[in-house]
Structure 1
Amino acid sequence: MQPLMTERDRADQDVITLLTHAFSLFMAGDPVGARHEAQMAALAVPASGPAQAALGDRLLSIDDAMGAEQALRTACDLGAGDADTLGRLARSLQAQGRLDEAADCFRQVLQLDPARAEACLNLGLMRLTRGAARGAVTLLRRAAHLVPTQASIRLLLAEAHQRAGGPDAAAAAETQRRAACALDPAWPAAAVALAESLVARGQVRAAQRALVRASRLDPGDPRLLSRCLHLRHLLPGQTQAALKRVHGGWQRRFGTPLPPRPPLQHRPGTPLRVGLVSPDLGAMPVGWLVRPLFRHRDPARLTLVALSDRPHDDAIARELQSLADHWEEVAGLGDEALAHRMRQLDLDILIDLSGHGPGNRLPVFARHRPAPIQVSWAGYPGDTGLRAIDLLVSDAVLTPPDDGSSPDAVARLATGATCYDPPPDRPDPGPAPRARTGAVTFGAFAGPARVGDTCLDLWAPVLRAVRGSRLHLCAPGWTDARAASRLRAGLRARNVDPARVTLDPAAGTPGLDRLQACRSLDVVLDTAPRSGHLVTLEALAMGVPVVTLPGASVGGRYAAAHLTHAGRPQGLAADADDVLARVDHVLTLPRTPALIDAAAWTAAMTTALEAAVFRLAADTGQALDDEDDSAVA
C-alpha cells in the first residue's frame, strides 16, 4: 500500500515537474532562460505555504536568489516558516549580500532548532568576517560538535581561534588543524594550515614536512611547492648552491615550456613603463622597501604601474597609491586574466616582488610572460629559479660575482639591492639606553620561526658574557604561550636565565612601532640562518648598531649587505667566536644614524632597469632567452 502524500509532498512534486526545464537550461549555461522558465512556472504554483517553500528551494538551486526570497517569504506568511524554510531564506539573503538580514534569519533557525549545523556554520562565518572572532569561536565550535567529521569546519574554527587571540589561541588553532588533517588526510589545505601553525611556533622542520606532504597530495599546484621553497630559507645549513638545485624543481614542473617574449615597444627618449606586482604593497616590509623608488624616481625616466594583489588600508598603501602613475587592484584575478591585463598596460619591465613567498604570482611570469623583460627584486632571498625571470636585482654582498650558484643575469647595485627611506616623523634616536639603565639591552625583531637553536647558540655566549644584560624580542608571534615556553627552555639549557628576556609582541610591526622600540635597544643581534632585512635598515636608521654573522645563502646575508653599504662593517663577525668581540666593539661606537642616500639609490636602480632594456633592444632577441647567457655585472 502506497503511503498517503501530504500537501507538501504533492506541492513539491508539482514544482519539481514545472522547474525541470528551467534547471536543464541552467545546467546548460543559460541562466537567463532558466530564470524566465522559473518565473513562468512560479505562476502555476499554488498559493500555499508548502508549495511556495518548495518553489523557493528550487529557485535557490538555479541561483535565482531574489525569486527564492520572494517565494520563501510568501511561504513564511502562509504559515510554512519552519527551520528549513528560514534557512533557505537566510541563504537567499546571503547570496544577495544582505548579511544583516541573513544573520537574523539564521538566529531564528537556531531558536527553532539549536542543532542546525548549517545555521551555526553560516552565522559563525559572518561573525568571523566582521571581526567578532570570539562569537565565531562559540558558533563554529557548536557546528564542529554537530558535524564532527567535517574537516573544513575545523579549519574555520582554527582561524577563529587565531583571530580571537590570547595566550592559548595558537595552541587551540593547531589542535583544530591537526583534527582536520586526521579527518581528511588527503586534503592539502589541512596540511598547509597545520604547517602555518607549526611555523608560527618555531617548529620549522615539522612545518616543512607538512608542506612537502601537501605538495605531494596536489602536485599540480605551483604555490604549494613555492611555500616549501620559501620555508627552506629558515632551515639551518642551507647553501646557495643547494637552494638553486631545489628551486630548479619548480622550473621543471611549472616553468616549461618557456613562453615567447613579447616584443619590446619602448621608444628611446620616453620613460620606461615599469610594473610592480605584489600582495604586500602596504605597511609591510615590501611596501617600505619599494617606497624609495616611488618617492625619488625621475618621472622622465620611469613610469610606475603598481599592481596590488591584496587590498591594504594603511598609510603606506595610501602613500604608494598617491605616488604611482597608475595603481590597480588585481586581487581575485586568475593567472590568465592578470596576464591579459598586464599586456594591456604595455609594460616594458615587470617586477616580481614576492618570489616564492605567500601570495606570489610566479605562474604568470613563468607561463604567460606578459612583459618583454621580467625582473625579480626586493621580496625574496635570491634567485627564484625561473628561466622566465630575465634579471635579478641584487648587490655584490648578497650575490657575489664569483658565486657559481648565482643566476645568469644579475644587476649588482653598488648602493645595495634595497634602500630604506624612513618616515619624516620618525622618533629621535636618543642616547644609548645603557647610559640610563646601567645595563646593556640587546634586541631582535623576530618571532619564533626566526629564533631557533641556531640563534640561541649565537646569542647565549653574548648574554652570559655581558653581565646584567637583557634580551628584548619584538614580534607578534610571542603571544603564543608554547613558543615562549620553548624559548625559555632553550635559554635555560644554555645557562641563560629566562627572566632576562622580555617578549614584546606589540613592537614587531614595521614602521614607527619598530623605530620607537629601537630607542630602548643598545645592540640588535641579527637572526640566523635567516638574516634581518628591513629590521636591519630600521635599526641603522635609528643609530642602533647591528651585529651579524653572515650566512652561506642570500637570506643569511641581508644584514651583512646593509652594514656594508651603510658604512658600518664593524658589526660583521668572522665566525661564531667573533660575535662577542663585535658586540664589545660596537658598544664603544657613538650612536649615530646610518642611512643610504635614497635619491642616489633610486638613480642606480633606474640605471640598472634602463640597461636591461638597452641590452634587449641591441640584442638579437635570443641572448636573454638562452640558458648560457653571460653574467651581467
Structure 2
Amino acid sequence: MSKSSFDARKAMREVNKYFDAGALPQARQVCLNIIRHFPRHPDALYALARICGDLNECDEGMQYLKLAFDVMPHFPDNRKVAFGIFNKYLLGKQYAQLEEASLWLSRYLPRDGIVLDYLGVARIEQAKFADAFPVLTRALELLPSNPHILVNMGNVLISLERCADAIPYLEKALTIQPNMVVGLNNLGNAMRFIGRTEDAIENISRAIQIDPSQPYLFNNLGLAYREHGMYSFAIVQYRHALELQPDLLQVYPNLIDALRQNGQVQESIECGQHALSLTQDIPEIWAAYGDTLREANHLDAAIEAYIKALSFREDGQSSFNRKIYTNLLFCLNYHPDLTPEVIYNAYHEFDLRFAAPLKAQWKKFENARVPGKRLKVGYVTQAFYNHVCKYFLLPLLEGHDKEQVEVYAYANPPFEDDVTAYYKKQIDHWVPTRDMTDDVLAERIRADGIDILVDVAGHTNGNRLPVFARKPAPVSLHWLEYGYTTGLSAIDYYLTDKPTITDNCAHLFAEKVWCLDGPAYVYRPDTRRAELGPSPFESNGVITFGSLSRSTRINHRVVRVWATILDAMPNSQLIINSGDFKDPQVQDEMASRFMRYGIDRSRLLIGFTSPSWEVLKHIDIGLDCFPHNSGTTLLESLYMGIPFISLTDRPSVGRIGASILTAAGHEEWIANTEDEYAQKAVILAHDLDALRRLRGSLRSEMEQSLLMDEPAFARSVEKAYRQMWNIYCEGPEQ
C-alpha cells in the first residue's frame, strides 16, 4: 500500500478507540503501522511514547518521545506524555534514567518549572544534593509558590546540612498547602537538626494524624523523640514503623541506638544481631551495632563492626564515615592491649583521610601581627550547657582577663538551659553554630578575626574538627575534652601539663605538646549535694573500693588487678557504678568477669545511681582504670575525701590520674606497674587511721591546691596563649 493510499487520520482514530478500550497492545500495532508509512508522524510518535510508558517500557518510550519532540516540540500534550514516563521512572526507582530524561526535556522546555522539579527530584534520590540545588532554585524562580518544589528545596537544604535555610521554604509550602504530609515531615526533620525538638515532634505528629499509614513518619518521630532524650517514646515509634512495614530496614539502626541510650544494652545487641540476620548490606546497621558493642565493652567486636560500616561508601570524606571513624578511634583509645604507636597511626590515618584534603581551602590570614595586642580567643564546643565540661570551662571563662583576651563562643549545644544562659553572661560574643555548615563556620571565624581558636571537643559527639581542618585562625589548639590528640596536623598545639606526658612522646601527637606551668585544668565542684560524711567502714566494718567509670575502661587487665585486691582483702567489697550499668544483664556480665577469679557475687555492688555524690559517700578507696584513666569522677572522689590509686600508662589518657594526684600533692598514690597498683591499694586499705584522716582533710587540701586555684589557672592559660601568639607573630607569613 502506498503512502498516498494510507489514511493516517483514520488510523489515529482507531488508535484512540483502542486507548479508550484499554487495548494498549492493539493501539501500539496501529501506531507502528502509521510510522512505517510516515516515520515522522507526530501523533503516532507521541502515542507510542505514551503507550510504552503505560506498559512500563519507559526507555523505549523515551526514544519515541525524543523523535516526537524532534518533529513537533510544541505538541499540545507533550508534557503530559513526558510526565507519564517520568512518574513511571519514579515508581520504579530508576532515578538515573529520570535524571537523563528530565535533563533532556529541560533543554526543550527551559522555562518549565515542573520539568526542572523532576530533574531536582532525580538528583535528590541519587544523593546529588549540590547538583539539585541550582535546578530547584531555577524552578522556584519560575514557580515561586509551588508547594512541591518548595518542599523539595527544603529537602535539598536539609541534606546539605543547611537546615535553618530549609525552614522558610517548608513553612511557605505549608502556608499554601497546610496538610501536606511530606512538608510537615521535612519541616520536623529540619527543626530536629537545629535543636528545636519540641517543634519537630509537633510537626511530625501532625503529619501522622493526617496520614497514619506511612511508616517513615513514625521512624522520623522516633528520631525527634530520641533527639529530645525521650528514648522510650522513640522505641515505641520505631517498633510501630516496623509493624507497618517489616522490611523497612533503615529503622533498625535507630531502634538499636535508642535501646542502647535507654540503658537496654543487651536488648540493643540482640536487635543488632537480628537486623544483621535480615541484611548485612546497610552500613548504618553495622555502625549502630558497633556503638552498642562498644557500650557493652566488647571492643574488638565493636572495632570489626565499625570497619565493616566504613567499607560501604566510596565517598571517604562523608560525614557518616567521619563519625564512624571517630567511634573507631574511641574504641582504640580504650583498648587495653594496643601499643600507643598503633593507636596513633589510626589518628594519623584520620587526618590523611578527612582533614588533609581540606588544606586546599587554607587562606592567608589578615590578623594584625602585633605581639601585645588584645587577643581574640574563640572556644568551639557543644558543651555550653549542663555538661561535665562546666566544672572546668566555666572557671576559665569567668577568670579571663578581658583586657588581655576578647572571648568568642562558637556554640552548638544540643539544647539551651540555665547553664547556657550563665555561659552567655561570661562571653563577649556568643555565636550559635548548630545550623552552620563547616564551610560557613570556618568563614565566620575568619571574618571575626579570631587569633587563637580552641577546640574543647576532640573526637566527642558534635565536634567541629572539620572546621579546624580548614585552618580558619592563625593559632589553634585542643584542650580539655577527650584527653588525647585530635590527629589533625592543622591544629598547632595540644594544651596539657607535664604529668600527663612522658619524655619522647611527641610522635604520639599530631599537635605540638604544650605544657602549662601548673595543672591542665582547674576544677570547680558542684557542691549542692557534696556533704562530707564518715568513712563507710566506720559503720559497716567493711572496706569498700569503688569506681564510677564507664564500662569501656573496665577491661580484662583492670578486672584481674581489682580481683587480686579483693582476694587479698577478704573483708572488702567493690562498687562499680555508672550509666553503663543500668541494664541488669550488663551488671551480671561484668560480675561474671570477677567471679571467674573466685570473687563472690555478693561482694560486687554493680549498678547506676545519680547523682555521683550519693555513691561516693559509700566508698572508702577509689580505684582508677587503665590504660585509659577515669576523669571527672577522680576529682569528685578527692573532693569527697576519698583517696584513689592510679596506674600510669600511655600519654595522655593513661596519665590523667597522675596529673590530678600530682596537682593535689599525693603522688604516693601513683603506681607504675599493676603489681604496685594492687600493693598500694591493699596497704592503704589497712591504714584505717589514714582513711579517717583523709576523709576530713582531702577537701581542704584540694581547695588550697592548684587544682582549685582559678585565678592562677586563668593566668597560666593566658600566658600560654600569649606565647603561642608571639611565636606566630615571629614566624613566616602564612
TM-score, normalization: structure 2?
Answer: 0.71
Aligned partner of 1:576 in structure 2 is 674
RMSD of aligned alpha carbons: 3.3
Residue 476 (structure 1) shift: 0.8
Distance 1:476 1:374 in 2: 34
Report if aligned partners of 1:309, 1:329 keep a CA contact under 8 Å in 2: yes
Cα pair distance change 1:426/1:18, threshold 3 Å: farther
Aligned partner of 1:247 in structure 2 is 347
Distance 2:373 2:540 in 1: 57
Distance 2:456 2:680 in 1: 33
From 232, 236, 251, the equivalent of 1:153 is: 251
Letter in 1 for 2:428: D
The answer to whether 1:204 aligns with 2:299 is yes
Distance 2:345 2:276 in 1: 30
Bigger shift: residues 498-507 or 63-72: 63-72
Aligned partner of 2:181 in structure 1 is 90
Letter in 1 for 2:323: R
Report if aligned partners of 1:450, 1:530 keep a CA contact under 8 Å in 2: yes
Secondary structure class of the residue paired with 1:458? helix
Distance 1:614 1:261 in 2: 18
The answer to whether 1:549 aligns with 2:640 is no
Cα pair distance change 1:439/1:313, threshold 3 Å: farther
Report if aligned partners of 2:151, 2:186 keep a CA contact under 8 Å in 1: no
- Give unpaired runs (5+ residues) of structure 2: 1-17, 23-75, 84-111, 121-134, 155-168, 189-198
From 362, 371, 376, the equivalent of 2:473 is: 371
Report if aligned partners of 1:548, 1:571 keep a CA contact under 8 Å in 2: yes
Residue 293 (structure 1) shift: 0.9
Distance 1:450 1:582 in 2: 20
Cα pair distance change 1:420/1:104, threshold 3 Å: closer
Cα pair distance change 1:438/1:59, threshold 3 Å: closer
Aligned partner of 1:194 in structure 2 is 289
CA deviations on 1:238-269 (whole Å, 9 max, x unpaired) are 33333333322222223336435524425454
Distance 1:280 1:131 in 2: 16
CA deviations on 1:156-212 (whole Å, 9 max, x unpaired) are 33344345x36xx32333333344445553433222211111111111111111112
From 607, 612, 620, the equivalent of 2:719 is: 607
Residue 227 (structure 1) shift: 2.5
Equivalenced residue count is 572
Cα pair distance change 1:134/1:533, threshold 3 Å: closer
Distance 1:490 1:269 in 2: 58
Which structure's relative contact order is higher, taking Cα pairs within 8 Å and 6+ residues apart? Answer: 1
Letter in 2 for 1:243: I
Report if aligned partners of 1:570, 1:586 keep a CA contact under 8 Å in 2: no
Report if aligned partners of 1:69, 1:92 keep a CA contact under 8 Å in 2: yes
Distance 1:101 1:618 in 2: 55
- Where does 1:12-31 land on structure 2 (aligned, <5 Å)? 17=80, 21-26=112-117, 27=120, 28=135, 29-31=137-139
- Where does 1:139-538 land on structure 2 (aligned, <5 Å)? 139-162=237-260, 165=262, 169-218=264-313, 219-221=316-318, 222-256=322-356, 258=359, 259-260=362-363, 262-265=365-368, 267-366=370-469, 368-407=470-509, 409-423=512-526, 425=528, 427-507=530-610, 513-538=611-636
CA deviations on 1:22-74 (whole Å, 9 max, x unpaired) are 31254432353443575xxxxxxxxxxxxxxxxx889866878679768978x
Residue 154 (structure 1) shift: 1.6
Distance 1:62 1:324 in 2: 36
Cα pair distance change 1:175/1:333, threshold 3 Å: farther
Secondary structure class of the residue paired with 1:343? helix
Distance 1:204 1:492 in 2: 21
Distance 1:3 1:133 in 2: 55
Aligned partner of 2:68 in structure 1 is none
Letter in 2 for 1:491: F
Cα pair distance change 1:193/1:570, threshold 3 Å: same
Distance 2:531 2:234 in 1: 43
Letter in 1 for 2:138: D
- Where does 1:4-83 land on structure 2 (aligned, <5 Å)? 17=80, 21-26=112-117, 27=120, 28=135, 29-36=137-144, 38=146
Letter in 1 for 2:723: A
Secondary structure class of the residue paired with 2:334? coil
Secondary structure class of the residue paired with 1:467? coil
CA deviations on 1:281-324 (whole Å, 9 max, x unpaired) are 33333332322211222222222211122334344433323212
Distance 1:490 1:577 in 2: 19
TM-score, normalization: structure 1?
Answer: 0.81
Distance 1:223 1:92 in 2: 28
Residue 546 (structure 1) shift: 0.9
> Which structure has the larger Rg?
2
The answer to whether 1:598 aligns with 2:710 is yes
Bigger shift: residues 132-141 or 323-332: 132-141
Residue 336 (structure 1) shift: 0.5
Cα pair distance change 1:17/1:58, threshold 3 Å: farther
Report if aligned partners of 1:120, 1:142 keep a CA contact under 8 Å in 2: yes
Cα pair distance change 1:518/1:69, threshold 3 Å: closer
Distance 1:552 1:92 in 2: 52
Distance 1:31 1:550 in 2: 63
Distance 1:60 1:224 in 2: 30
Distance 1:215 1:285 in 2: 31
Report if aligned partners of 1:448, 1:483 keep a CA contact under 8 Å in 2: no
Distance 1:109 1:93 in 2: 11
Bigger shift: residues 417-426 or 535-544: 417-426
Aligned partner of 1:83 in structure 2 is none
Distance 1:95 1:252 in 2: 35
Distance 2:718 2:19 in 1: 83
Cα pair distance change 1:432/1:401, threshold 3 Å: same
Cα pair distance change 1:357/1:567, threshold 3 Å: same
Aligned partner of 1:617 in structure 2 is 729
Secondary structure class of the residue paired with 1:449? helix
CA deviations on 1:526-569 (whole Å, 9 max, x unpaired) are 01221012221222222210101111332111101111121011
- Give unpaired runs (5+ residues) of structure 1: 6-12, 39-55, 74-87, 508-512, 623-633
Report if aligned partners of 1:214, 1:224 keep a CA contact under 8 Å in 2: yes
Report if aligned partners of 1:90, 1:101 keep a CA contact under 8 Å in 2: no
Residue 372 (structure 1) shift: 0.2
CA deviations on 1:434-468 (whole Å, 9 max, x unpaired) are 22222111111112222221211111111122233
Cα pair distance change 1:270/1:497, threshold 3 Å: same
Report if aligned partners of 1:463, 1:496 keep a CA contact under 8 Å in 2: yes
Distance 1:426 1:35 in 2: 61
Bigger shift: residues 231-240 or 422-431: 422-431
Residue 352 (structure 1) shift: 1.2
Secondary structure class of the residue paired with 2:716? helix
Residue 477 (structure 1) shift: 1.0
